[in-house]
Amino acid sequence: MVRKLNAGDEDNFEITKSDNLANMLIDNIKYVTIAATLIGVITLLGAAIGLMNIMLVSVTERTREIGIRKAIGATKKVIRSQFLAEAIVICQLGGLLGILFGIGIGNAISLLIGGSFLVPWLWIFTGIIICFVVGVGAGIYPAIKASNLDPIDALRFE
Domain ranges of the chain: 27-156
For residue 119, give the nearest of 91, 99, 95 by alpha carbon: 99
**Beta carbons within 10 angstroms of residue 64's beta carbon:** 13
Residue 10: C-alpha distances to residues 2, 6, 7, 22 (Å): 14, 9, 9, 29
Please state, in angstroms and rounded to a whole number, the distance separating the CA atoms of residues 32 and 8: 48
Are 67 and 155 in contact by the 8 Å Cβ rule? The answer is yes
Q: Note the pTM of the prediction, 2 decimals.
A: 0.75
Per-residue pLDDT of the chain (158 residues; tens, 9 = 90+): 566 777 777 776 777 677 777 888 888 898 999 999 999 999 999 999 999 999 999 999 999 999 999 989 999 999 999 999 999 999 999 999 999 999 999 999 999 998 888 888 999 999 999 999 999 999 999 999 999 988 888 788 76
